[in-house]
């Protein structure tokens, strides 16, 4: 029933809906690839996309993996190892433990780092296995909770501690490397509008940083990518302090990001096409000074969530009308009859717009949000619209806590009901699933539209 299944030229059933019996089952994916005689596997940006064991298994079959090597994925997927590598390549890191720690070491390590701090899973990502600790009394419970979620999502309960930055922004740099040692950046994205440590709105360029900070940040990202021998598309994530002057390495995502369309909108570069070309052994077709950033782009993720609480909703889409027009792109899984299921990460669509500047992009996104008609499922569209109208967002004075500041406990909900709803939300977000949603555009049409816009 899924839209990508309906649109595909060929499909192979790999198992039942439960991810661990299908999309997370390496042998099932490889069996499907062999059945259709595939010569390459593109992992998208969920499930096995950052699984080094999967990459090794793919390479052993002789099939090309569209992404970096298993060694690089293993190095950067281990957050402790990634911190060490960042330091080795002169990329600033947030004060924290030098390695994964056990419970007996935690109290002393936390006292040395200082509060508030973050408990983080050493293996994994996607905002899972992270807990905020404001004082020593919260530490033990936070560690237990983080370990439990990390074990469930990533099969590893290793954790480390890191100081929490107040009023920080989440800014990331898109990098692209080939198999010939060339690495470039495609500028930065501000991904600070988040809920439950997962992104809701992303924009490029980041309006908070100076040209000098941008140059330092992008240079640091390229330096790290070159240092680890990175090839294909990847993202180096940073935390920007409240003064917007200092940045610190957060992690590296060794895959295509959900928000890659906004980079494509401002550069005119098709990242997915280049991923395939790089995997085939081609060199990058441009040098750093040939890459230009034009205008501004913003992406909004459309989720089945109550806009007053960000808690999950369910239902079946009865009526659907999606935005369209110049400088508007919709990557969507939606269709009439689409049903929100508990097995997968609930991202339903991504709405991406481009404008000549940030103000124009914000206005265009507001207009496009107003063109959406989705009946049968309650979505977060009203909340996204509220964020775009908020002064802290329009003035680029927001940080990662913006949504938490906007929302309070739902009116009329009892304590038990609210806790149950939060538990459901965490359970849904803890499922390691792909955020990749099938889109309605074809590569040629998308490329042509970019050329038209930038010419």
HEC-encoded secondary structure of 419-436 = HHHHHHHHHHHHCCCCCC
Which residues are within 8 A (CB) of 155 and not within 5 positions of it... i.e. 6 or more apart?
A: 123
Distance CA 411, CA 426 (A): 20
| pLDDT for the residue 420 | 45
| pLDDT for the residue 422 | 43
pLDDT digits 0-9 by tens, 209-229: 999 999 999 999 999 999 999
Cα–Cα distance list, 341 to 304, 364, 426, 432 (Å):
10, 31, 15, 14
Distance CA 67, CA 44 (A): 10
CA-based nearest residue to 432, from 49, 37, 148, 104: 49
Whether 255 sits among the annotated catalytic residues: the reply is yes
Which residues are within 8 A (CB) of 109 and not within 5 positions of it... i.e. 6 or more apart?
A: 97, 101, 161
CA-based nearest residue to 168, from 143, 136, 190, 144: 190
pLDDT digits 0-9 by tens, 392-413: 999 999 999 999 999 854 433 4
What's the rounded mean pLDDT across residues 100-122? 95
CA-based nearest residue to 95, from 239, 214, 227, 195: 239
Cα–Cα distance list, 396 to 169, 192, 210, 392 (Å):
10, 10, 13, 6
Q: What are phi and psi of 416, to 5 degrees?
A: -65, -40
Concatenate the DSSP letters of all residues of 318-384 into one string: -EEE---STTEEEEE---TT-B--TTS----EEEEEEESSHHHHHHHHHHHHHH-EEESS--SHHHH
SS3 label, residue 316: strand
Distance CA 403, CA 392 (A): 11
| pLDDT for the residue 155 | 82
Cα–Cα distance list, 140 to 134, 334, 402, 420 (Å):
12, 42, 27, 22
Check whether 373 has a pLDDT greater than 80.
yes
pLDDT digits 0-9 by tens, 375-394: 999 999 999 999 999 999 99
Reading phi first (left if > 0) and then psi (alpha if -120 to 50, else beta), residue 382 is in alpha
CA-based nearest residue to 336, from 1, 17, 7: 1
Distance CA 119, CA 133 (A): 7
Cα–Cα distance list, 211 to 72, 206, 208, 269, 356 (Å):
30, 10, 10, 22, 18
SS3 label, residue 400: coil
Check whether 419 has a pLDDT greater than 90.
no
| pLDDT for the residue 102 | 94
CA-based nearest residue to 361, from 293, 414, 448: 293
Assign 451 a pLDDT band (cuts: 50, 70, 90): very low
CB atoms within 10 A of CB 418: 15
| pLDDT for the residue 342 | 78
| pLDDT for the residue 123 | 86
Burial (CB count within 10 angstroms: exposed 0-12, middle 13-18, buried 19+), residue 127: middle
Mean pLDDT over the full length of the chain? 90
| pLDDT for the residue 108 | 96
Burial (CB count within 10 angstroms: exposed 0-12, middle 13-18, buried 19+), residue 417: exposed
What's the rounded mean pLDDT across residues 173-185? 99
User: CATH number of the domain at 169-454, out of 3.90.1150.10, 3.40.190.80, 3.30.470.20, 2.40.30.10?
Assistant: 3.30.470.20
HSE (side-chain half, CA atoms, 13 Å) at 110: 24
Domain ranges of the chain: 3-73, 95-163, 169-454
* Lookup: tokens for 41: 């596997």
CA-based nearest residue to 31, from 69, 23, 44, 20: 23
User: CATH number of the domain at 95-163, out of 3.90.1300.10, 3.40.50.1110, 3.40.50.10420, 3.30.1490.20?
Assistant: 3.30.1490.20
CB atoms within 10 A of CB 382: 13
Check whether 51 has a pLDDT greater than 90.
yes
95-163 and 169-454 in the same fold = no
Task: Exactly one of 255, 301, 358, 364 is catalytic; name it.
Answer: 255
Reading phi first (left if > 0) and then psi (alpha if -120 to 50, else beta), residue 132 is in beta
Distance CA 425, CA 174 (A): 29
* Lookup: tokens for 332: 């969507």
CA-based nearest residue to 109, from 122, 123, 95: 95
SS3 label, residue 149: helix
CATH of domain 3-73: 3.40.50.20
Check whether 446 has a pLDDT greater than 80.
no
Reading phi first (left if > 0) and then psi (alpha if -120 to 50, else beta), residue 64 is in beta
What's the rounded mean pLDDT across residues 303-332? 96
| pLDDT for the residue 444 | 36
Q: State percent of the chain over pLDDT 70.
A: 89
Q: Determine what percent of the chain falls in helix, strand and coil, rounding each to the nearest 5.
A: 40, 20, 40
Distance CA 328, CA 299 (A): 10
């Amino acid at each position: 029933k899924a839209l990508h299944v309906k649109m595909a030229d060929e499909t192979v059933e790999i198992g039942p809906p439960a991810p661990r019996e299908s999309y997370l089952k390496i042998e099932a994916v490889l069996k499907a690839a062999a059945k259709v005689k595939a010569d390459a596997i593109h992992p998208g940006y969920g499930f096995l996309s950052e699984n080094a064991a999967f990459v090794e298994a793919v390479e052993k079959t002789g099939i090309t993996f569209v992404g970096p090597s298993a060694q690089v994925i293993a190095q950067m997927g281990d957050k402790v190892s990634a911190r060490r590598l960042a330091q080795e390549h002169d990329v600033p890191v947030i004060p924290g433990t030098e390695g994964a720690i056990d419970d007996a070491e935690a109290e002393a390590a936390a006292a040395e780092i200082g509060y508030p701090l973050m408990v983080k899973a050493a293996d994994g990502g996607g905002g899972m296995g992270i807990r905020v600790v404001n004082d020593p009394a919260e530490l033990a419970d936070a560690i237990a909770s983080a370990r439990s979620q990390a074990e469930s999502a990533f099969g590893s309960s290793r954790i480390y501690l890191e100081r929490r930055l107040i009023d920080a922004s989440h800014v990331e740099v898109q990098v692209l490397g080939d198999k010939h040692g060339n690495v470039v950046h495609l500028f930065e994205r501000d991904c600070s509008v988040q809920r439950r440590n997962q992104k809701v709105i992303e924009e490029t360029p980041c309006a908070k940083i100076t040209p000098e900070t941008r140059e330092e940040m992008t240079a640091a990202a390229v330096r790290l990518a070159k240092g680890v021998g990175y090839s294909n598309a990847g993202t180096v994530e940073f935390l920007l302090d409240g003064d917007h002057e200092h940045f610190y390495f957060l992690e590296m995502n060794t895959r295509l990001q959900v928000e890659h369309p906004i980079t494509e909108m401002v550069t005119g570069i098709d990242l997915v096409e280049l991923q395939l070309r790089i995997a085939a052994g081609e060199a990058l077709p441009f040098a750093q000074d040939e890459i230009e950033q034009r205008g501004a782009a913003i992406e909004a993720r459309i989720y089945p969530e109550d806009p007053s609480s960000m808690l999950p909703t369910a239902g079946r889409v009865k009526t659907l009308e999606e935005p369209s027009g110049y400088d508007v792109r919709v990557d969507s899984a939606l269709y009439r009859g689409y049903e929100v299921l508990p097995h997968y990460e609930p991202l339903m669509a991504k709405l991406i717009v481009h404008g000549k500047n940030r103000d124009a992009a914000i206005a265009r996104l507001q207009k496009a949000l107003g063109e959406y008609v989705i009946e049968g499922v309650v979505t977060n569209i009203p909340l996204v619209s509220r964020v775009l109208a908020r002064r802290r967002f329009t003035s680029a004075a927001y940080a990662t806590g913006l949504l938490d500041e906007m929302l309070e406990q739902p009116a009329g909900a009892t304590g038990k009901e609210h806790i149950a709803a939060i538990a459901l939300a965490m359970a849904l977000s803890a499922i390691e699933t792909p955020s990749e949603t099938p889109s309605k555009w074809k590569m040629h049409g998308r490329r042509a539209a970019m050329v038209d816009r930038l010419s």
